[in-house]
Amino acid sequence: MKDILLFAFLLCLFASCQNSNQQEAEPLKRYSIDQFMDNTRFFGSSFSHDESKVLVGSDESGIINAYAINLADGERSTLTESKETVRPISYFPNDDRLLFLSDNGGDEIFHLFLRNEDGSIKELTDAEGARAVPYGWANDRKSYFIGYNKRNPKFMDVYEMDMETFELKMIYANDEGYNFGGISNDKKYMAVSKSITTNDSDLFILDLKTKKATKINETQAGNSAADFSNDSKSFYYLTDVGAEFQYLMQYDIASGKRTKVMQEDWDISYTYFSHTGKYRVSGINEDGKTAIKILDTKSNAKVDFPDLGALDISSINISRSEKWMTFYAGSSRSTSNLYLYNMESKEVKQLTESLNKEINKEDLVEAEVVRYKSFDGLDIPAIYYKPKSASMEDKSAAMVWVHGGPGGQSRVGYSALIQYLVNHDVAILMVNNRGSSGYGKTFYKMDDKNHGEADLKDCIEGKNYLASLPYIDQDQIGIIGGSYGGYMVMRALTHAPEEFKCGVNIFGVTNWLRTLKSIPPWWEAFKVALYEEMGDPAVDSVRLYNISPLFHADKITKPVMVLQGAQDPRVLQVESDEIVEAVKKNNIPVEYVLFEDEGHGFVKKENQIEAYSKILKFVDEYLKEKPDLKG
């Protein structure tokens, strides 16, 4: 009997080993771009007046529209069915009407709209060619503040809209080119800032009655508005005076006294108070991730979050009653979902499921924060995605990914395009080259008037880092990027044409002289700061000419793909048109993908599917030695 049991045990063990070996031998599951794009994106979470539902934006229809999520059962109902992108803002304070923004095909000329409870739509800012920006409800919830440039296209004046009559009253004519920073609960004060450089700003408290502006900061530095206290006696702001990273300060409006409130080892990105001031919410930019800290202002105790394992929590919203909190949680291989948290019972409930059920997140790749040395010994932070298929025997192709900006930051988080490329054997190194935000003000300023030079060398050293990895094919490394990152792609292909095997330029600048002269009029308040960093075309024309890829396109020897939105107000279509024509003269493979109904960033799912699938096909053909066009 013992022998029979032993035989049965060994047989089961053998079978288990066989199953284990079979599982190990199973090939990596490949997903199509349609499967990746069948995920659903959610954002926003404005509570309704009775806190029974939240207002969100979602692209489940193929384009972003407004939806309501019932907090009791998670049921979702459609509120708008627009063919243009709808950006939900807020429910009304006493009923189920809502506010939303929309533009025309991505032109960024946003108009403010009202959706009535019966579904009818009313445009609230209808001045032709004028842009509206939401600033928020007044504390009494009877009016709403907006920025509006209908008087002068260059400046966003501040208006108060009566939410019964929808009449607009200008409360500040913004001829100084200030940036809005908030209005106190008693409506006596408005915080504004004036950009000096892309890093440094002056902060002011503006008396709305006398229009007198009192400067808060004593030293030129990276200063930005946070929030007014609930009693309107104090103003909170962020500054990096005497430090590498931004910390939180309190300014007493009556006495002018400044007090340091909170300091971390990284930038505090934002701070704000809940409705009564019971909670203070802060977001800290910790090495490419956002860490949230909530403080109970009465007890000074830290509010604990529910344990969601490896998921990162973001986008906190506390209800007006301060009983409920919504937040999003996700990771590099998990799309963000909306959660509801009861601040009293500590119960948490997931409200959305955004990842396509056909995709097993175990097949996706977890991002890794890495660092490598650049040409001058500087540590360069990066976000790295290693394909599961990569090995010494089967080496992977790779791409250096350059973020937008200048001054942007690649961060840990879910990206359908990145996971799609990595799932199809392309390693991605998202480089945070010098000049990127999030790593201290010294690092941030390193590329000022030095663009396309040392920051490009950081990207080239990123390529060398990839090439040093034993499972990466050093002969199959390309470069990809959007906006400023797209510029860096073209700069690499013209200035260092032998470094990368191919390039993918997503609406990138190719002629700085034109781009800096043709920035949207509503950027006027920021233009001086932008010129301080990039250069003034009237003064620095020689340098800007030298770093503009268009004028050196004859040096391009590697295949190029260019993607562009025709409605882009930041990087005009002509930038891409001309570089494509210039590359064609070299008899170099070039592919051009133009979307007539997109702006600076592609938001329509059908366009994203076309763009991303064409990127992979381009990479398969020109980066990999053995093309694989499946997927």
593 beta partners: 563
3-state SS class at 481: strand
- In which band, very low, low, confident or very high, does the pLDDT at 524 lie, cut at 50, 70 and 90? confident
What are the angstrom distances between the C-alpha of 265 and each of 201, 246, 250, 282, 316? 22, 9, 19, 14, 21
Backbone angles phi, psi at 405, to 5 degrees: 145, -125
- As a whole number, mean pLDDT of residues 209-238 equals 95
Is the predicted pLDDT of residue 148 greater than 70, yes or no? yes
* DSSP β-ladder status, 201-207 and 213-215: antiparallel
Is the predicted pLDDT of residue 628 greater than 50, yes or no? no
Per-residue pLDDT reduced to its tens digit, 251-278: 999 999 999 999 999 999 999 999 999 9
Which alpha helices (H) appear in 445-496, and where do they start and end? 454-468, 484-495
Is the predicted pLDDT of residue 166 greater than 80, yes or no? yes
* Nearest by Cα to 223 from 196, 195, 243, 201: 201
Q: Which residue has the tokens 């007890």?
A: 299
Which alpha helices (H) appear in 31-172, and where do they start and end? 33-37
DSSP letter string over 382-446? EEEE--TT--SSSPEEEEEEE-STTT----SS--HHHHHHHHTTEEEEEE--TT-TTS-HHHHGG
What are the angstrom distances between the C-alpha of 288 and each of 197, 198, 408, 539, 603? 23, 20, 11, 36, 23
Is the predicted pLDDT of residue 139 greater than 70, yes or no? yes
Three-state secondary structure string covering 94-115 = CCCCEEEEECCCCCCCCEEEEE
Judge whether 562 and 579 are in contact, CB under 8 Å. Answer: yes
**Higher confidence at residue 261 or residue 524?**
261
Query: What percentage of the chain has pLDDT greater than the value 70?
Result: 95
Instruction: Indicate the range of 78-82, 194-198, 366-370 predicted with least confidence.
Output: 194-198
Backbone angles phi, psi at 532, to 5 degrees: -65, -35
pLDDT of residue 591: 98
Instruction: Indicate the range of 405-419, 515-529, 595-609 predicted with least confidence.
Output: 515-529
Residues 6 or more apart in contact with residue 140 via CB below 8 angstroms: none
Residues 6 or more apart in contact with residue 605 via CB below 8 angstroms: 37, 59, 62, 63
pLDDT of residue 495: 97
Other Cβ atoms less than 10 A from the Cβ of 251: the count is 23
Judge whether 470 and 493 are in contact, CB under 8 Å. Answer: no
Long-range contacts: 521-526, Cβ < 8 Å, 24+?
A: 521/149, 521/153, 521/154, 522/131, 522/149, 522/153, 522/154, 522/155, 522/156, 524/154, 524/155, 524/177, 525/154, 525/155, 525/156, 525/174, 525/177, 525/178, 525/179, 525/194, 525/195, 526/179, 526/195
- As a whole number, mean pLDDT of residues 128-157 equals 96
- As a whole number, mean pLDDT of residues 206-217 equals 95
Is the predicted pLDDT of residue 569 greater than 80, yes or no? yes
Q: Around 435, how many Cα atoms within 13 Å sit in the side-chain half-sphere?
A: 26
pLDDT of residue 570: 93
3-state SS class at 466: helix
pLDDT of residue 85: 95
* Nearest by Cα to 503 from 624, 619, 384: 619
Six token digits for residue 113: 């709209």
Judge whether 447 and 325 are in contact, CB under 8 Å. Answer: no
Six token digits for residue 280: 């203070």
pLDDT of residue 18: 40
Judge whether 202 and 215 are in contact, CB under 8 Å. Answer: yes
Is the predicted pLDDT of residue 279 greater than 80, yes or no? yes
Q: In what order do the strands lie in the sheet with 324-331?
A: 312-318, 324-331, 334-342, 348-350
Instruction: Indicate the range of 12-16, 337-341, 430-434, 517-521 predicted with least confidence.
Output: 12-16
pTM (predicted TM-score): 0.92
Six token digits for residue 560: 């190029």
pLDDT of residue 523: 87
Q: How far apart are CA 114 and CA 136, in angstroms?
A: 14
**Higher confidence at residue 363 or residue 218?**
363
Six token digits for residue 299: 């007890």
- In which band, very low, low, confident or very high, does the pLDDT at 302 lie, cut at 50, 70 and 90? very high
- In which band, very low, low, confident or very high, does the pLDDT at 626 lie, cut at 50, 70 and 90? low
pLDDT of residue 6: 34
- As a whole number, mean pLDDT of residues 195-206 equals 93
Q: Around 183, how many Cα atoms within 13 Å sit in the side-chain half-sphere?
A: 23
Per-residue pLDDT reduced to its tens digit, 2-26: 333 333 333 343 333 444 443 444 6
Quote the DSSP letter at residue 494.
H
Judge whether 430 and 382 are in contact, CB under 8 Å. Answer: yes
Three-state secondary structure string covering 580-631 = HHHHHCCCCCEEEEEECCCECECCCHHHHHHHHHHHHHHHHHHCCCCCCCCC
Q: How far apart are CA 34 and CA 609, in angstroms?
A: 7
**Higher confidence at residue 449 or residue 377?**
377
- As a whole number, mean pLDDT of residues 541-547 equals 96
Judge whether 529 and 198 are in contact, CB under 8 Å. Answer: yes
Is the predicted pLDDT of residue 122 greater than 80, yes or no? yes
Is the predicted pLDDT of residue 630 greater than 60, yes or no? no
Ordered structural domains, the chain, with CATH: 365-622 (3.40.50.1820)
* Nearest by Cα to 564 from 604, 510, 505: 505
Six token digits for residue 564: 């562009």
Judge whether 537 and 544 are in contact, CB under 8 Å. Answer: yes
Instruction: Indicate the range of 22-36, 196-210, 245-259 predicted with least confidence.
Output: 22-36
User: For the chain, what is the mean pLDDT?
Assistant: 93
Is the predicted pLDDT of residue 92 greater than 90, yes or no? yes
pLDDT of residue 309: 86
* Nearest by Cα to 409 from 441, 386, 445, 439: 439
Query: b/e per residue, 512-526, with b = 16+ CB within 10 A?
Result: bbbbbebebebebbe
Backbone angles phi, psi at 194, to 5 degrees: -125, 115
Is the predicted pLDDT of residue 363 greater than 50, yes or no? yes
pLDDT of residue 28: 83
